[in-house]
Structure 1
Amino acid sequence: MAEAHQAVGFQFTVRPDGVDLKLSQEVIKNIYLSGVTAWKKRAIQFKNGVLAGVYPASPSSWLIVVIAMMSSLYIHVDPSLGMIDAIKENLPHSVVPFLSRGYMSVQTRAVLSAILFATGLWLFLIYLLRYTLKALLSYHGWIFESHGKMSTSTKVWLSLVKMFSGRRPLLYSFQASLPRLPVPSVDDTIHRYLESVRPLLDTEQYRQMEVLANEFNESMATRLQRYLILKSWWATNYVSDWWEEYIYLRGRTPIMVNSNFYIMDLLYVTPTHRQAARAGNVVHAMLQYRRKLERGEHAPLRALGTVPMCSTQMERMFNTTRIPGIETDIVQHLTDRKHLVVYHKGRFFHLWLYTGGRHLLPSELETQFQRILNDTSEPQPGELKLAALTAGNRVPWARARIKYFSQGVNKVSLDAIESAAFFLTLDDEPQGYDPAKTNSLDSYAKSLLHGKCYDRWFDKSFTLISYPNGKMGVNAEHSWADAPIVGHMWEYVLATDCFHLGYTEEGHCKGDVNKGLPHPTRLQWQIPEECQSIIETSYLSAKQIADDVDFHGYLFNDFGKGMIKKCRTSPDAFIQLALQLAQFRDQRVFCLTYESSMTRMFRDGRTETVRSCTSEAVAFVRAMEDAGATTAQRLALFRKAADKHQNMYRLAMTGSGIDRHLFCLYLVSKYLGVDSPFLKKVLSEPWKLSTSQTPQQQLNLVDINKFPKYVGAGGGFGPVADDGYGVSYIIVGENLITFHISSKFSSPDTDSYRFGQHIQKAMLDIQALYKPENDKKTVEKHVPLENGKKHI
């Protein structure tokens, strides 16, 4: 047991003549280095906290203001208009009151007064800059302009934003300057809601909905709205805390499939086929990302390279766990966690991520992971399927946690999991995209989404999954953040893994192999039979959900963003209208459609809903299914529907959406104990088609034109409705769109593969509308005119 000896920091024996104490120099050295690293980390965090706290100014600007004030004293110019003299008169004459010594001279008091005034002026200028920038960022007219056409006023506005944004911002530099999410007017929200449901209701149903909406508006809407406006003044965001609590944390059904989502690895490239080596590089890259995140050193994400996005969600990416409760869960976020918990073949291993005050190197991590892979010990009783507790219903897990995991070795081991930086599963079945296998993406997605139902810790902020063939993936818990946040980290990790860390010719991590590290240690469990029965019940419940997931991954490579842009249409609007056409062809009816939009241009913003099934979209789809409609008519209706969709998406992004406002009004009504038939009906409507676009190239760390194979496959989620579809899509470069389609086998009306075929046909059918027009332009460009000139 060599590792046991290395784990001992000191030894002592009791002798008749005293105590013989032997210190381990290696451990003392590691303790010293760890302390130095911790103090360096605190110093960097303090420095970056100060830089972000005074942004867009800088600490050096304080010195400039002080020097300017001091200089004015010597040239007998008072820019303070007498305030420096007033401060000087009110300063105590003695440095230490009540003592005869220590009097300040007149010159000292004048200098101190100038410094105090300069500091106050400097702070005032900082707040002035911040509120000026906040006022500028509250303008959203730029987002409603046509793509590629920027007005003079928008150019001036962008120049002002750049001017007041300062230089080299840190991750949280803009937080204090972001505007608050505005509360829309009730009249606007009700009008947009009625407009959104008009194509889904017949005349009588729509008339009844109008009556309910008008009764709500006339009776209690004003009262509920006042409380929301009050909250918007008091809280940084009037939606986000309630959204996290009531949509995610108060849910008592399983979060596996129903809430968690996944993100896939690179589509075409596997940097190494050695499982331990790939995991070593990826984990090391994650630790680098976490270090920059803790220090706030990542650059903030900015639209148009100028307009900042909120970074709040990134704070809880690591060291975070969803803790189950009887009535509601909580999100536990810790700081400075130095270990990882690894799951392999039913065993849980505790692995330290630091040695000598530094991160383990990729080669060291590879060694540790290989040791776990080589371990042939058997799981302890109840250990194999223990994680199924996080996959089943929340209440049984919460009760079991209190009864069986609140003391002894079980508490120690559970604390190790819940306080870990993140959770890693070394899977034993290869996955990944294989062009030779028609269902490879389907199997890969289901593995990431639910696995075996007991080999991912679904409560962790994310579980990193490593496969025997070198492929990776992520399963993420949803309450703490949305998919773009995890995607941001994943892009950094993949780019660092492939282009900065790299591998040897044999596929191992670069660097020397350090075999002197203490081995990973097994977590110990004492799980009684009653608890094992609860674990088995949670497993069977989760397995029933997992087995019901009908998944289809589809790579659409007939065309991509490049062709769509040539049609002068938003790629997102193009795809959303194709989804409406596919949905109608699949079900022969229209349905309420959910598309996720972000609101991160506001402080603590998360998401808003875009209701994609509009009257304009319905008219376009009906024209596509009408054999008598001409191509010109269909194209005109398509453009009208696309413009409508773009406008709705922009309204959602700028705080004028429908669903978050109605959701908060409903919560206020519940708090006040009043009943609204209108709000109750709105909140009970099923989303039979739930869609989301996965962002690509948030960081632009890889030039995909130069390295076209280094693209991700995006991610997906489970079906939202029992008889509906969940569709996630990612626009990859110029010539590829990836679709992740989910539904339930138990529904006789849905089929994910069939829906994928409908999407393909819908995309091609819409593209065909532009072909005659494009062909005409091409002909006109090259046919000579009578005078010998050509059309240009």
Structure 2
Amino acid sequence: MTSSQSTSSRTFGNEDHLPRVPLPSLDDSGRRFIEWCAPLLTPDELAETERALAAFLRPDGPGRRLHEALAEYDASPGVHSWLDTFWPYRYLGRRDRIALNANFFFLFRESGQGQVERAAGLIAAALNYKARLDDERVPPIVQRGRPLTMEQNKFLFSTTRIPGAVQDTVRSPYSDEWPGPSQARHIVVFFRGHMVRMDVIGPAGRPHTLDELAAGLGEIMKNDVPAAAPAGHLTTKARAEWAASREALLAADPGNAARLYDVETALFCVCLEDTAPRDDLDACDRLLHGDSGNRWFDKAVSFVVFADGTAGINVEHCELDGTTILSFVDALMGEPAEEHSRQSEARSQGAPAVDTIEFVLDDALRADVREAAASFARYAADTATTTVSFDDFGASDAKRLRMSPDAFVQLAYQLAHKRSKGFVGATYESIATRQYRRGRTEAMRVVTPEVLRFVEAMDDPGADAGTRRAAFRAAADKHVERAKACQAGQVPEQHLWELQLIQKRRGEELGVTEPMALFGSPGWVKMRDDYLSTSSAPSTNIRYFGFGSTSTQCIGVGYVLLPDRFNVYLSTPAAVADAMHAFADRLREAVAELRELLTTP
């Protein structure tokens, strides 16, 4: 926005005035790509990558034609960003499971409430948020005087990912098919694999009271016989397989279409667990994957509430990033449920209508459900996880040491990885770009030449404390510089990736049909083959944040860095669990050692 434009107080009032995501020049992306991948490569691999890039960038090369097509698209009427097509391909085009692989979770702070009270309170708070959102009374987030895009808020309610044979789609409000906010008045409650439609908003458009919501949940929980064949298991399948199962579900009984419609248009899901987690790690694991018969992983928002009142959220990622969910959760938990209920003008109107959603299954579908359940249980069991907690270190401590808090922990990750595995590996960090129109995230690659010098100095017996401090600060400064470049959209990965996707979509039309060596080069492959995949969620309302790993050797690192504490959730394939546990041990040591290094004169 220009200085002459005032910030609108309406939720979506600033969207058309936000600056567009800048499209980097092709030559700049090529130069930055080499800078990013070089620290991971041998001299021979770097030379091979440079040759592939030169062929891509030559005046008559494929890169020029692809970039020209992208620039034309970016300037087309109705296009908000050159990434408008990229995001659907990135998220909806993936063909593996989204359960555990793509969805993410937050474990909420404790409330001291029991299960039904906490679930009813979350429902009431979410309904108040929706009422405010529908009227555009949720204030736009302003960061450093600039409003951020609020577009993702349109996908919080009644949004569901729909599996497709080739690419998934999204059923959501604010769309051509469904203009404006969702008019749905129901949620779907899961208990012991049963799916129940519960009307949480009455016929006159007012929410039910807290007592009535609690009574509705209590009524649902009276049916404590586990469901025989919970259809939720099907949402754990690889996407094309789930698409085929969904078609079979629709064909099995005429009424199944209406049952799917109830699930897919519900405002959100509430998953009531019949047991309490043993500890924080168990709660995190069950929020990440849990009892898949008691979930609908395609739903944008699913609140999960355990038998002891422990609660969290599982989020489908295709339209929602962590920053949006953080703001949502902060709003829900920022005031007591009674206040949310009052603000939403909830009124007493009798017990909410509840109706069991029971899909009609034939023998083949029942077998399909059983196999999906067993397959996902094996997959979850093949995932190793752990938590690392620092109660004596947080962002405030890093700042007192004149260090960027994020740079501090990211460099601690690098040192811990080097000491646990013997090398520095490709590391991804998600950087928010919501200051742009429909901005989402940018891919940051953490490993720099300064990082390599830092980890070398830390384990060099000949390096004194001053040398190590200097290397640490130089690497941190470079980290901050690169993060700022990501926030400014002046980075290479997603730009080059979109050019690769344009060839797949329009290669024949553009005359770019030959394989492009760049995307098989050591630099491209190694830079994107994560050993650490990291993302942060700073909120006092969140205890842990997590997601699955992204490759066979990757450790997923979800972290909550608060002023006074620092919690990390780690996940990796079970086959390499020992390396993850070694990384966790070295991380504890690295944080203490780096803190001491900056503290000592």
1:513 & 1:303 partners in 2: Cα distance? 36
2:585 corresponds to: 757
* 1:427 is aligned to 2:273: yes
CA contact (8 A) 1:592 1:689 kept: yes
Q: Which of 393, 397, 408 pairs up with 2:238?
A: 393
Q: Which of 744, 747, 760 pairs up with 2:576?
A: 747
2:476 corresponds to: 642
Gap change, CA 1:317 and 1:683, over 3 Å in 2: farther
1:518 & 1:210 partners in 2: Cα distance? 65
Return the offset for 1:498.
6.1
1:7 corresponds to: none
2:171 & 2:538 partners in 1: Cα distance? 27
Gap change, CA 1:683 and 1:314, over 3 Å in 2: farther
Return the offset for 1:683.
5.4
* 1:553 is aligned to 2:387: yes
CA contact (8 A) 1:445 1:551 kept: no
- Give the counterpart letter for 2:583 in structure 1: F
Gap change, CA 1:398 and 1:392, over 3 Å in 2: same
- Give the counterpart letter for 1:411 in structure 2: A
Per-residue Cα deviation, 1:317-336 (whole angstroms, up to 9, x for no partner): 10010011111110100321
Q: SS at the partner of 2:336?
A: helix
Return the offset for 1:741.
0.9
- Give the counterpart letter for 2:329 in structure 1: W
2:292 & 2:216 partners in 1: Cα distance? 25
1:264 & 1:238 partners in 2: Cα distance? 33
1:452 corresponds to: 291
**Alignment of structure 1 residues 670-689 onto 2, 5 Å:** 670=504, 671-672=506-507, 673-681=513-521, 684=525, 685-689=528-532
> Which structure ranks higher in relative contact order (CA pairs < 8 Å, sequence separation ≥ 6)?
2
* 1:713 is aligned to 2:543: yes
Return the offset for 1:728.
1.1
CA contact (8 A) 1:364 1:513 kept: no
2:262 corresponds to: 416
Q: Which of 340, 350, 359 pairs up with 2:197?
A: 350
Structure 2 gaps of 5+ residues are: 174-181, 508-512
RMSD: 2.1
1:748 & 1:468 partners in 2: Cα distance? 30
* 1:172 is aligned to 2:9: no
**Alignment of structure 1 residues 102-501 onto 2, 5 Å:** 133=1, 136=2, 161=3, 164-166=5-7, 169-218=9-58, 219-234=61-76, 236-266=79-109, 269-272=110-113, 274-304=114-144, 306-334=145-173, 335-357=182-204, 358-376=206-224, 379=227, 381-382=228-229, 385-406=230-251, 407-431=253-277, 440-497=279-336, 500=339
* Aligned-pair identity (%): 27
Per-residue Cα deviation, 1:152-173 (whole angstroms, up to 9, x for no partner): xxxxxxxxx3x6315x621111
Per-residue Cα deviation, 1:680-699 (whole angstroms, up to 9, x for no partner): 43654411211011133xxx
Return the offset for 1:449.
0.3
* 1:521 is aligned to 2:355: yes
Return the offset for 1:499.
8.2
Quick check: 612-621 or 756-765, which moved more? 756-765
1:207 & 1:743 partners in 2: Cα distance? 32
CA contact (8 A) 1:460 1:476 kept: yes
Return the offset for 1:245.
2.0
1:226 & 1:513 partners in 2: Cα distance? 57
2:107 & 2:599 partners in 1: Cα distance? 34
Per-residue Cα deviation, 1:360-389 (whole angstroms, up to 9, x for no partner): 11111001101111234563x53xx31110
CA contact (8 A) 2:209 2:348 kept: no
TM-score of the aligned structures, taking structure 2 as reference length: 0.92
Return the offset for 1:501.
5.6
Per-residue Cα deviation, 1:106-155 (whole angstroms, up to 9, x for no partner): xxxxxxxxxxxxxxxxxxxxxxxxxxx3xx3xxxxxxxxxxxxxxxxxxx
Return the offset for 1:653.
0.6
CA contact (8 A) 2:192 2:225 kept: no
1:124 corresponds to: none
- Give the counterpart letter for 1:405 in structure 2: L
CA contact (8 A) 1:319 1:337 kept: yes
1:468 & 1:634 partners in 2: Cα distance? 49
* 1:723 is aligned to 2:553: yes
1:541 corresponds to: 375
Return the offset for 1:669.
2.5
Larger radius of gyration: 1
1:770 corresponds to: 598
Q: Which of 364, 370, 376 pairs up with 1:530?
A: 364
1:600 & 1:516 partners in 2: Cα distance? 42
Gap change, CA 1:346 and 1:196, over 3 Å in 2: same
Structure 1 gaps of 5+ residues are: 1-132, 137-160, 432-436, 504-510, 697-709, 774-792
CA contact (8 A) 2:140 2:148 kept: yes
Q: SS at the partner of 1:343?
A: strand
CA contact (8 A) 2:442 2:494 kept: yes
Q: SS at the partner of 1:255?
A: coil
Per-residue Cα deviation, 1:585-638 (whole angstroms, up to 9, x for no partner): 111011111000011111111111111011101100100011110111111111
1:518 & 1:558 partners in 2: Cα distance? 46
* 1:738 is aligned to 2:567: yes
TM-score of the aligned structures, taking structure 1 as reference length: 0.70
**Alignment of structure 1 residues 504-519 onto 2, 5 Å:** 516-517=350-351, 519=353
- Give the counterpart letter for 2:597 in structure 1: L
Q: SS at the partner of 2:388?
A: strand
**Alignment of structure 1 residues 619-634 onto 2, 5 Å:** 619-634=453-468
Q: SS at the partner of 1:740?
A: strand
2:304 & 2:538 partners in 1: Cα distance? 21
Gap change, CA 1:636 and 1:391, over 3 Å in 2: same
CA contact (8 A) 2:329 2:541 kept: no
Q: How many residues align?
A: 577
1:545 & 1:328 partners in 2: Cα distance? 23
2:403 corresponds to: 569
2:534 corresponds to: 691
